[in-house]
Structure 1
């Protein structure tokens, strides 16, 4: 049936409109100051709250197949829609890794009918699948993920000839995790010599150091410039790396950059209280780095904001430094965290919507999503930016059952989420799966 959302404060593409939005057949049929409800329409009064496009999270680890004791496509996508994320791109370092066309197709089959948000899957780079990457056509995946640093799933690409070949021949964008493994291993040896098995979590940013990040990002950017590759560098963490990227609008850029919500929010001062709960790769760094990342979001050096959602069990995270895995569950609280930054005056609302909703759609050629536009799929989030969200462990929907934000009050509540025009989160519970496979420019 048609759905009419009335009395909404709509923000989209740098503009604001107070009015109504009509959904028909899963798509936005009309946006206007006032719309008469069609016969049989379900009407929602937004009460003047913020209606925005759903966030497109281009960097998540939902752990399926093979690591489903941590999370799976159903549980993690449920947490995502509760957090206002309506589409996600999932990473290839599962078990088995998504490094062949057969495995990519199998993953899409696994997702059908089970995902609460719209879904796409990256193809993974490895030292032994260059020919597969050469044959990967545009349209079936958002890109090829290349781990230029040690990763879960043994997907480190450290053969210079293969790395050069991937940058030279990929027909889709290359997405990189940039940390230099030899530098990290050297730092680990130094930490073991000093601390043994009892390394403080506050050392993580020195072990996964700024030098390791800079050296690897420099290599990736250099290869992209050499070959004219479309490159997107994920989860940047240091002030020094910002020098590799160009300020200004994203449109027309060959090389783009991304930051994650936790790197905009936490600093190394938070290790003392949160320990393994904020241990991630690349590491949370200093307050000065956080300020540099925020400045880069504002001036356009950073083009996209994402999560890098990566759940681990409480038992795994409760181990000491060497055994506790890196990664944080983030999708349920990403948008409220960004609204906290808006409330503080560190970011403005138009920038958040541009970087979290519009920019991923533009960068990766997502078809008919990421905007409030007539004719586009109705992927929508209704937000109360005046409310506070108290983060409690018992409310966490990710299978892992914890959040790095526990005990904090974040700067907004997600009131409702629509996916493909159907209600997916009603403010209290997640409803039936509504997600569809994402279409990209170039076709499937």
Structure 2
């Protein structure tokens, strides 16, 4: 498939995803759902995949609605072009990142004051940029593990709400689950515990070990690194997508012009991500005392994960086409039929036809009223009639002990 054809395919699926949400239609296009705890580096990884810092979580504040990012590679876009799809169905229009961030924060505040503090309805943002991959990523609210005890009941309730929202989002069979784990021991399944409730075999799950740069110094022996890079089946059950976990690191620091900013541009941030990958590979090889194989290198770094997800999503798109086209045709026929019915109703609303209907109703009403005044009942006897016994009972007829009518005199 050529690059223009690929771009059209992604654009069509992105439109389908937005229309499915807007009109509550049964179409579900493949996408990558990111699941992780608030401390797993989830937002940083999403930004690294996007190629620029979005900072949609506002410095750590958890989002209360999933955020769908329709990313499109466009080499002509020197800076990110972002469009927010409004909830009222209006057309998406370019917006500054600051306005989108303000909208998300306003949604957080609105939901915080409601009984149900989280919503499954997605915030949809379309992004075009020269560093963007062709990906659709759904960033879910970060999971939390609150402390036990009655005084933490509010946090416990919020944690349950987020967990229920995440489970509902990843239950769609066409979604690829990006499961983030921040740990050096695969026997600790913090995020996998929730993911495996929906995908027990991990057959549509990509597991990512985040913050690799902080994990490498923790290993004292090369054998520990070997187990971490290639966990045994007993530690990581199931049939993972990609057959093995991915390992990523995202350099710290924000993009901006302030004195506390580390990077002056998104280009510098992008270069820092690439440098971090090379440093991680060098550190791993130093710990192992050998060179990493080609297969092992293909699991290290954000760029490897990004390439894998792009290829996997494109494959899922192609596999879904034969299934989605009949659904679209069915929906098209249904919509055309409804449109014909509406047009037929509208055509019957002209003045002459309305007057004819009014006269017909007037004549029918007077005719039936005249019959009713004469005591005539024109109705199905099996529906409105009564048996003799029912008539006597409701009419007050006196009966004897043998159930036969008796006369009554004063």
Q: After TM superposition, is the score higher than 0.5?
A: no
TM-score of the two chains, using structure 2 as the length reference: 0.32
Q: TM-score, normalised by structure 1?
A: 0.30
Higher helix share: 2
- Structure with the bigger percentage of strand: 1
